[in-house]
Amino acid sequence: MGDMLEYKDSHAAVLSDVERPHQPSDDRDERLAPGGWTITLALAGVTCCLGSAVPAGFNIGVLNNAAHLVGAFCNESIKERYHVDVSESNLKILWSTVVSIFLIGGVTGSYLSSWLADRYGRKKTLCIGNIFGIVGAAMFFLVQKLNSIELLLAGRLVVGLSGGFATCIVPMYMAEIAPLRLRGAVGVLCQLGITCGVFLGQIAGLETVLGTENSWHYMLGAFLPLCMYALVLTSIVLPESPKYLFIIKEEKQKALDELSRIRNMDIMLLQVEIANLQHEIETKTTAEPWTLKRILKDPSLKLPLFLVCLIQFGQQMSGINVVFYYSNSIFLAAGLGLTGSQYATLGTGVANIAMALVSVSVMSSLNRRIVLLTSNYLCLGCLIVLCISILIIHFSSIMPIVCIVAVMAYVIFYGIGLGPIPYFIGSELFDVGPRPIAMALGSVFNWGGNFIVGMMFPIVESIIGAYTFLIFAGFLLFLGQIVRIYLPETRGRSTMDVAASVSQGFQSRPNSRHVA
């Protein structure tokens, strides 16, 4: 009992100390930030990555290799149940609906999750996303038995909601529980999980795995154990975000308990971090809750909101999904054969995963802005080379090799910056209050860009062919200029400091002293 009283007294002393007027410490020096990797933080990272991000990526990539099986089921089901012969054009529309309804779910889930994150907390919102994943997987298991296209579409919509929750909440939650020096490293976990999920989905769709006429419905729901694992661990073991508890809910005692558990340190050793939390709550200008309308009308948030949405949208407009789409035909043209092309395409997935792993250390040691710009411009160059080499692929025996190199180089350069940074940059540009809605809007733009590219690429490609890559290159050129001029460096800086540097809108020019 004496230890318990002493523990409570220490918490009270810390709260009393930080509530007195103080001069906030300089958060720009990461060496001053307390804490490092602990069991609790590592468990949270693994759980969020495996249980939320991996299923989201799995549902993005699982239909690629098994498209003919699902398409045949749709055709036969309509014929059997409605006695209608589906034309080739209508079947394409139906297939586009199966693919795109997942993206619609992602957009909806992204926006819905921001409201839930503030109302019920980051942890409970993660659990809700896992529940959506479990329900969606159960629907897939029943599709073939019930011979229902409607259930297939509903399942894709529900897992899309789960994916939208993952891309919005996972980066936010991990950034809020990580110490300053690890914020970039944990920010990569969402992209790492999605990349691994896409790769696992491609493997599951192989004929030698689950991509068969009798097992494709099990293939669609094969991610179920991951969602169940995450739901149990998140609800029972993982902590709530101390920033959410301290600043949004103003439950300071509970926030200190969770912070001490995450850092695995006595609360008296975390006074600098607690002082920064107290400073953030003191800078709240009003108790009015943050809403979409308030964020859109706040002039100090116009530039960071524009940057988050543009960078998230730009990730999809970089053409990454188109490059993956084209990769199989490029490898075929290079003479690798059908089987060789499939495994070479899987090789691009391996390269993407490898670069996501590398980016964990890169984000901890290099500046975000420089990495993003470098990745952006190198991908732009690869797209131009790829366009030219495809156009003249039959005129020179070396061009197929150039195409292969361009594809692999693009995947590598994308994975180091354009892949991970868009997912977590919002958590470093916004304070805790407006952060959920701002990151949700960014996620909406990401899913929306994915939808636009998925729907428009086949049409545009049929008209202009390989010149389509120049459209993506042009967008990367535009994105690079905006990032170069307006995106402040966020590594090792508090969100208050970063937010202040872009509070004057497009007149801020945070990089006027060092334009790269």
Q: Would you state the structure tokens that stand for residue 364, as one six-digit string? A: 């901890």
Residue type, 379: C
Tally Cβ neighbours within 10 Å of residue 461: 16
Structure tokens at 217: 């419905």
Tell whether the model's pLDDT for residue 23 goes beyond 70: no
Q: What is the distance between the alpha carbons of residues 105 and 55, in angstroms, rounded to a whole number?
A: 14
Give the least confident one: 38-42, 130-134, 229-233, 345-349.
Answer: 345-349
- Among 56, 176, 171, 173, which Cα is nearest to 124's? 173
State mean pLDDT over 14-23: 46
Most confident of the ranges 411-420, 421-430, 470-479, 500-509: 470-479
Determine contact, residues 246/255, Cβ cutoff 8 Å: yes
Cα 83–chain centre separation: 42
CA 430, 432, 434, 439: dihedral to nearest 10 degrees? 60
Look at residue 27 and give its three-state secondary structure.
coil
User: ∠ at Cα 229 (260, 439), nearest 5°?
Assistant: 65
Mean pLDDT value across residues 367-381: 94
Task: Give the C-alpha distances (Å, rounded to integers) separating 113 from 106, 425, 451, 511.
Answer: 10, 18, 19, 33
Give the tokens for residue 510. Answer: 């945070």
* Residue of higher predicted confidence among 394 and 412: 412
The yes-or-no verdict on residue 387 having pLDDT over 60 is yes
* Cβ neighbour number for residue 395 with a 10 Å cutoff: 7
Chain centroid offset of residue 503 CA:
25
Copy the structure tokens of residue 481: 């200029």
pLDDT digits (tens, 9 = 90+) for 228-285: 999 999 999 999 999 899 888 888 889 889 988 998 887 776 777 778 778 777 666 5
Residue 418, SS3 per DSSP: helix
Quick one: tokens of 450?
């994915």
Taking only the tens place, the pLDDT of each residue in 342-356 is 777 778 888 888 888
Q: Decide if pLDDT at 304 tops 70.
A: yes
Establish how many alpha carbons lie within 13 A of residue 473's alpha carbon, considering only the half-sphere containing its beta carbon: 16
